[in-house]
Amino acid sequence: MTVRQNIQDGEFFGVGSYTLGEAARLIGTSALNISRWMKGYTYRREQVEHRIAPLWSSQWPVIDNHLEIGFRDLVELRFVKAFTDVGVGLLAVRNCLEYARECVDDDRPFSTRRFQTDGRTIFLESIERSGEAKLLDLKRRQYVFRQVIDRTFKDLDIEDEAVARWRPFNGKQSIVVDPNRSFGQPIAAKYGVPTIALAQAVEAEGSVDKVARLFGVSAAVIRDAVKFEASLQSAA
């Protein structure tokens, strides 16, 4: 039984469900990175095999060795990518995660209101505590952390102290990723139609206006869906 069948049966409704490939596509990284971050990995050095643990466990149980992740996992991974993109090492990210869990009292601390307000301080304190501070230009890091946190939370909606939705198309209201709707896949917010379905229909029909009539979705929203899906392809 797949994760999405479980959702349809009512179990874990509202968690969202993404394959590694879907998650990679949405946050603009490789499925290999997602796998390494969520499954861990091994490497050999001087004939000794070393095992690196996952950054955290998925919201979903592994079924037949098949891993899918939830919406909160997706948001956490988006932060991991944002930090590694600006040169923060994975060890520093792991240290921050561990320290943030203590501070926030949440297994997924990056996707909380507390991290939005205190994330820069938490990250810097975690580096100080780990002994990595002497290796870093802390003044620069302070600026970078603030920029990453501000930029990443800009298109996230927070409810009940945690991220509830993501507005993935430049923060516009027309498109939403909501774990309570369509398994958390990107949809036209007002209409509930998956953006990929709209984009594929435009490609097939060759006309935004015709697709607007077929789906009962405004032409402006369809154009946003087409641009959004194109942006995912270009980031892949």
Indicate the pTM of the whole model. 0.90
- Among 53, 89, 93, smallest CA distance to 77 is for 93
Q: How confident is the model at residue 43 (pLDDT cuts 50, 70, 90)?
A: confident
The residue count of the chain comes to 236
Q: Residue 162 falls within a domain, yes or no?
A: no
Would you say residue 229 lies in a domain? yes
Q: Is residue 174 included in any domain, yes or no?
A: yes
Is the residue at 225 inside a domain?
A: yes
| 140 within domain boundaries | no
Nearest to 129 by CA among 90, 97, 87, 82: 97
Q: Which domain holds residue 194?
A: 167-236
Q: What is the mean pLDDT of the chain?
A: 90
Query: How many domains, the chain?
Result: 1
Q: At what angle do helices 208-215 and 195-205 cross, to 10 degrees?
A: 130
- How far apart CA 222 and CA 163 sit, in angstroms, is 26
Pick from 10-14, 60-64, 147-151, 189-193 the range whose average pLDDT is largest: 189-193
- Phi/psi of residue 57, nearest 5 degrees: -90, 145
| Residue type for position 166 | W
pLDDT tens-digit profile of 126-158?
A: 877 776 655 456 667 778 888 899 999 999 999
Residue the block writes with tokens 């003044």? 139
Residue 187 inside a domain? The answer is yes
CA distances from 44 to 36, 52, 75, 162 (A): 15, 11, 31, 38
Q: What is the DSSP letter of 124?
A: H
